Amino acid sequence: MFTNLVTMDLPASNLITRETLGWEPTRPRLLDDLDNGNYFAERRNFVAHQ
């Protein structure tokens, strides 16, 4: 049963949260943040210095 859940394409949206709470995101999206190298910086520097 868990395998079926993992293999399903389940798109998600923050639309309900935004409409209900009047919330608007102000920070970069996760994928944009990852592309800019804002995560795992220590690991990246560690690998670069070896």
As a whole number, mean pLDDT of residues 26-37 equals 81
Domain membership of residue 23 (yes or no) is yes
As a whole number, mean pLDDT of residues 22-45 equals 75
Domain membership of residue 1 (yes or no) is no
Predicted confidence at residue 20, as pLDDT, reads 92
Give me the chain's average pLDDT, please.
Answer: 76
Domain membership of residue 26 (yes or no) is yes
Domain membership of residue 16 (yes or no) is yes
Residues in the chain: 50
- Confidence at 49, pLDDT banded by 50, 70, 90: low
Domain count within the chain: 1
Residue type, 26: T
As a whole number, mean pLDDT of residues 5-33 equals 85
Domain membership of residue 17 (yes or no) is yes
State the Cα angle at 23 between 9 and 21, rounded to 5°. 95
Structural domain span for residue 41: 12-48
Domain membership of residue 41 (yes or no) is yes
Res 50 pLDDT > 60:
no
